[in-house]
Amino acid sequence: MEVAKNKISHLGHHTSDIGLKDFIENSENRSLKDSIDQFDNFILNLKKNNEHSFFRIITSAPGRHVYVKNEVNSKTERKLMFGSNNYLGFGNNPYINKKVKHVIDLYGTGVGGPALLNGYSKSMNELEKRIARFKHQEDCMIFSAGYNANLGFVSALIEKDDLVLYDELSHASLIDALRLKQAMSVKFKHNDCEDLEQLLALHTRKIKGCIWVCMEGVYSMDGDLSPLPDLIPIIKKYNAFSMLDDAHGTGVLGKNGSGTAEHFELSDKIDISMGTFSKTFAVTGGFLAANKKLIQYMRYFARPYMFSASLPPMTLAAVNAGLDIIEQEPLLREKLHKNISYASELLKAFHVFQKSESAIISIIVPKWMNIRKANSLIDQQGIFLNAIEYPAVPKEMQRFRISLMAQHCKTDIEFLAATLKLVYADHKVRY
């Protein structure tokens, strides 16, 4: 603790080995004013040392290339984008743009409140029905954000006698929801079927209410898939219920792009399917899809749904048009998966976490590497890449998180590999 305190008190001298965790762990020893002042100093020094890669200002439409404002000289620079979840290029798709413009003329910009009382728009009603079919469920409800979908699931369905078992790498939105509800919850080891079964066997006879098992189709930091063919039979064996967060699988995996459950031919075995519009669909919002009675119940008891305004017509139109493309242009997904395979092969020399089936490839950085300085050099070479630092991941698992798009070409991926090779050989990235 003393070492961390000493680091924080001398932020002006060195920031490379200091992270957000240092502020979190020592917050009880500082006033709020001191925390704000010291954190401001920390960020200023990151910028001074050209190690700040957060909140980069993009001045162009999203795509394979973007234009980014340089913090130091305020110039606009062209970057090759490998840091966006815009996997199919929907962020600036001509067909989607045309549909959105048309819908604004028809329905305006919004209903001015939640669907419960202020108007359940025809667009929202139709899109919910379409997503339900897409996810092989009976019904669906749309939330203002994917984060709110997880909050809504927990707030509406998890009672005091219930238990939630969740993968240890589950998204922050689920963890926060469980904490806010003060729900009984236990995490199981990541993708570990044996650990899950032991927990189910231990708790099944004790729990008076329901047991829910929460998983993700694709885990966002590692890019690995949930082993649903092994997990689902265990969940069914103990009469538990499954909730699958498929934020990064929707639109990318499955014969028809429905997601991870379809990829494993298990769509009919999932009790609740959750997803977002902020990844493949490149807008905002989220959804829960399940049987009709359960969705009807949640419409009246999921607080983030009841007390948040409905998504605007243009967002609903963008998702609807995106579904058109997913259904009608399977070659787009094929192109994405060819890029995934090519990138996995080309980047395997850089300690790729594992061969990826998703659009996410994680490269674990060596212990000797200053990830901030390395990312700064990558940026200078014209590549927009995400450096994932501790405490978002363990210190020994810091990584570059590469997001691939269908629009990338082979030369883009080759340039990325060549840039990484150049940066890894640069003495400036060593501690």
In a domain, 296, yes or no: yes
Q: Are residues 287 and 350 in the same domain?
A: no
Same domain? 24 vs 144? no
Q: For residue 56, tell me if it sits in a domain.
A: no
pLDDT value of position 14: 47
Cβ-count burial 162-182 (b if 16+ within 10 Å, e if not): bbbbbbebbbebbeebbeebe
Neighbours of 160 (CB within 10 A): 10
For 294, residues 6+ apart whose C-beta sits below 8 A from its C-beta are: 139, 157, 272
On whether both 274 and 339 belong to a single domain, the answer is no
Same-domain check for residues 161 and 259 = yes
Q: What is the pLDDT of residue 282?
A: 97
- Kindly state whether residue 59 falls inside one of the protein's structural domains: no
Per-residue pLDDT at 13: 41
214 and 304 assigned to the same domain: yes
**171 and 308 housed in the same domain:** yes
The structural domain count of the chain equals 3
The domain that holds 74 is classified in CATH as 3.90.1150.10
Helix and strand totals (H; E) in the chain: 17, 13
- Domain at 100, CATH number: 3.40.640.10
| pLDDT at residue 17, rounded to an integer | 57
> What one-character-per-residue DSSP string does 17-70 give?
T--HHHHHHTGGGS-HHHHHHHHHHHHHHHHHTT---SS--B-S-SSSEEEEE-
Total Cβ atoms within 10 A of residue 94: 7
Residue 89 lies in a domain: no
> In this structure, are 172 and 275 located in the same domain?
yes
419 and 343 inside one domain: yes
Range of the domain at 157: 95-328
Asked if residue 208 is part of any domain, the answer here is yes
Tens place of pLDDT per residue across the chain (431 aa): 343 344 444 443 445 555 666 666 666 677 888 888 888 888 888 888 888 889 999 999 999 999 999 888 889 999 999 999 999 999 999 999 999 999 999 999 888 899 888 889 999 999 999 999 999 999 999 999 999 999 999 999 999 999 999 999 999 999 999 999 999 999 999 999 999 999 999 999 999 999 999 999 999 999 999 999 999 999 999 999 999 999 999 999 999 999 999 999 999 999 999 999 999 999 999 999 999 999 999 999 999 999 999 999 999 999 999 999 999 999 999 999 999 999 999 998 888 877 789 999 999 999 999 999 999 999 999 999 999 988 888 888 999 999 999 999 999 999 999 999 999 999 999 98
Cβ-based neighbours of 37, under 8 Å, separated by 6 or more: none
Are both 203 and 274 inside the same structural domain? Answer: yes
Residues 230 and 139 grouped into a single domain? yes
Q: 106 and 185: one domain?
A: yes
Beta-sheet pairing, 241-245 with 272-276: parallel
pLDDT of residue 22: 65
Closest CA to 18 of 379, 391, 387, 385: 391
Last residue of a domain, one of 296, 328, 360: 328
Q: What is the pLDDT of residue 2?
A: 40
